[in-house]
A and B are shown apart, each in its own frame.
Chain A
Amino acid sequence: MPDSPFHFIDHTKGSASLIPAGRSFENKLRKYFQYQIDTSAHYASIFHKLGLNSTHDPFEVLDELPPTTKEIYRETLQLEALTRLNESTFVTDFSSGSTADSVLRLCAPVDDLAEQSVTETAFSSIGMGPEDHFVCMDIGATEIYDFYFRAARNLGVGRTSFLHLTQNYGQSCLPLKPLQPTVLLTVPSLLIRTWNAIKNYWNEDYCPIKTVIHMGEPMDEDFRRKVEDHWNCKVRSFYGTTETGGIGMSCEDNNGIHFDPNVFVPTLEEVSRVNEGEFEGEVLFTTLHIRTQSMIKYRVGDRVRINTAYCPCGNPNPRLTFLNRTQEAFIIAGEKFHHAMILDGLKESAPDLPFANLVIEDLDPTEGDALLRVQLPDSYREKEPQFLTTLEMDIFELDALFRYGWVKFELEFLPIDMFQGRKMIKVRDNRLHMGYDSRENASD
């Protein structure tokens, strides 16, 4: 088995970065830092404040530099980018705001091409080519799909279309059947909502779709298997964010997202070793391929696991496995919980439960601390008693809070059409002290 061409370097503050081996990458990173000093007043001031420059060891510099937050991206880097691109052409990409407040990304033509190159590599890894018919299905975000279609055309794909879903999912997805795409790209929340309508367009004996690509959010593992089994196809995950662009695609072995650390340098915060060559923590990305609004150690808000071990698929690049979004964690009475804990608990009673959205609200102080409202598809209503028992008794620490009277539960069963938006917001914390403004998210 060949040695991995990538290795982790430990930093001083409980973090580690994954870097390609060899001096050339060191020089590349050094040049990148100099570019940031030359072109970004924000980063130049940080280098200056910390007494750093591009002659210092770039890996030590990487250690010293603070993370870049969404606020900095939105309030500083965005305006810097507009100033830089004053005389140039550029395109813009507005994030959905499903994970935080929306951000606007400005892309010069070279940035667009750099991202296109990553996307082409990802699409190429699933074998996309001239014989394919590529359909993207969504309720909006057409600019992303136009971009994907361009990447597909560069791989020789001649037939592409965007299928617009409306709230009448059953009717609006009807064209999918006669279109008979070979590659279908969509968002998991939408695939779940259309599944009942589209699943029987084909069966395992004949289905034109050989690959379903999902993007924008992770897909529930059970649902992924259900789609693969029912359509006899492969489901691949295309991971990325508005700010970083596409990062990588999962392989046929479904062992994580293959990505190139020559382009995206991951730094893991609060890192812990899983085993030899595998670490997990909150990931920060340094985007070496982006020139406008490029970011050093950008906090995308995901906890991930990164594995450098040899992958059976043969791709030498490391693999990233998404664990959870940091924003999908919430605290009740001082105890921290993750959305995944709740969903996994509920799945004990309903293994095929595709999702559960959590809404946390203040309780009258005489009644307790918080109300945890769990929104579920109405087809699972008959499981209500089991779900309540799970919430009250089976989730570690949540059961104690319930017994002490800190938390109350409410189950809300809704028709699947009532779950709005492209990507579902899994945790919505409406408590006053969270400073949540529901109006901001209403337009997502």
Chain B
Amino acid sequence: MNPLLSAAQRAFDETEFYGSVYPCRPTRLDEIPFINHSHYHQAMGILDCITDRSEVSGALAAYHRNVRKFPFNIVEGETEQQQRHKRLIHALGVLGITSEISTKFLLIADDASGPFAGELATCLAWEHHQASIVFHHGSDAQLHKDITCYKPNYLLNVSTFSSETALKGLAQEMINVHHVDHHIPDNENLLLACDEIGIFACRKGPGDPFVYDRENLLIETNPQSRLPALTTQNFRIAPFIRYSPGHYQTKFDA
């Protein structure tokens, strides 16, 4: 069966939310509607959106810990955590960073993005990379000094406010984590993130399309809005089916 249809049927069968948002159990792809966070007003809470509360093993931190447009917490089971991990590793692979050689990352975070940065650091540590975190809370000069102390191979910028000028003049290769709520800049080495599933795609050059892990995720374009819509086809407890996380048109590798 088509993996999108199969995922939609499972979501319909196993969650209150998809059971109520779909008019009937989908049997064809054109019966699966495109949705976004506004549809979630129909859910009473996060428990309506998951299949089994006893399998919850954690909550996914939002990119900005005080801001999230999705109305509830995002919770995960072990499968969701593993898939989120694989998406990040796949994205780094696109940039030529593999787990075969341990490397040194330094994540640049701030008060708002600290929890999200922590999740990334954990994933990198699982792959035997060194992933320290420096918090940009003082002057740019202070930040540069700390970066010099850590001597990383890669800087992973997860800071919500560290501007390009603050990070200018650094010798290390820079990877930027970009949240889908903001206009996509013309930067190299861009990881695309959303609050619902974390980092899900990557682009090396500014003109390149974003690449994602097709074993893990389906990304389509909503024909009406032309916005990307993702489907976590291998979900265990927390499905997102034809869900648009952002409101910017984005080019993905077709």
- Which A residues are CB-close (under 8 A) to B121? 142, 162, 164
Within 8 A of B (CB), among A153-197: 153, 158-164, 166-167, 172, 174-175, 178-179
Known A-B contacts A86-B44, A164-B130; A104 and B137 likewise in contact (beta carbons under 8 Å): no
**Chain B residues whose C-beta falls within 8 Å of the C-beta of A167 in the assembled complex:** 128
User: Does B45 interact with chain A (Cβ within 8 Å)?
Assistant: yes
B135's partner among A79, A89, A91, A149 (CB-CB below 8 A) is: A149
Q: Which 9 A-B pairs have the closest CB atoms?
A: A86-B45, A142-B118, A146-B114, A178-B149, A87-B45, A162-B133, A161-B134, A92-B59, A164-B132
* Closest beta carbon of chain A to B191's beta carbon, Å: 18
Query: What DSSP secondary structure best describes chain B's contact surface?
Result: mixed
Q: Is A397 an interface residue (CB 8 A)?
A: no
Give chain B nearest CB distance to A139 CB in angstroms. Answer: 7
Per-residue contact bits, chain A 76-104, to B (CB 8 Å; 1 contact, 0 not): 00010011011111111010000000001
Query: Is residue A352 within 8 Å, beta carbon to beta carbon, of the partner chain?
Result: no
In the complex, A179 Cα to B135 Cα: how many Å?
13
User: What B residues does A146 contact at CB under 8 A?
Assistant: 114-115, 117-118
Q: Is A440 an interface residue (CB 8 A)?
A: no
**Contact A150-B114, Cβ < 8 Å, known A86-B45, A163-B132:** yes
Tell me which residues across on chain B come within 8 A of A94, comparing CB atoms.
57-58
Beta-carbon nearest neighbor of A102 in chain B: B57
Which residues in A have their C-beta under 8 angstroms from that of B151? 174-175
A-B contact count (CB 8 A): 105
Interface locus among B46-54, B160-168, B227-235:
B46-54
Q: Does B73 contact A (CB under 8 A)?
A: yes
Assembly CA distance A158 to B149 (angstroms): 17
> Which of under 10, 10 to 19, 20 to 34, or 35 or more describes the interface residues of A?
35 or more
Residue of A nearest to B142 (CB): A159
A387–B149 Cα distance when bound, in Å, is 42
Given contacts A79-B53, A164-B125, contact A153 B146 (CB under 8 A): no
Contact with A along B113-126 (1 / 0, CB 8 A): 01101110110010
B215 at the interface (CB under 8 A from A): no
Chain A residues lying within 8 Å of B54, measured Cβ to Cβ, are: 79
- Is A82 a contact partner of B131 (Cβ separation < 8 A)? no
In the bound complex, what is the Cα–Cα distance between A83 and B137 (angstroms)?
Answer: 36
| B contacts, CB < 8 Å to A | 44-47, 53-54, 56-59, 61, 68, 71-73, 75, 102, 111, 114-115, 117-119, 121-122, 125, 128, 130-135, 137-138, 142, 146, 148-151
Q: With A and B bound together, what is the CA distance between A166 and B47 in angstroms? A: 37
A150 to B65, CA, bound (A): 12
18 further contact pairs, Cβ within 8 A, besides A166-B125, A179-B146: A79-B53, A82-B47, A82-B75, A86-B47, A87-B71, A90-B59, A94-B58, A104-B58, A142-B133, A146-B118, A150-B114, A161-B150, A162-B134, A166-B102, A166-B130, A172-B130, A175-B132, A179-B149
Residue of B at shortest CB range from A88?
A: B73
Whether B138 and A82, one on each chain, are in contact in the complex, defined by CB atoms closer than 8 angstroms, is no
Per a CB cutoff under 8 Å, which of B114, B115, B125, B138 touches A140?
B125
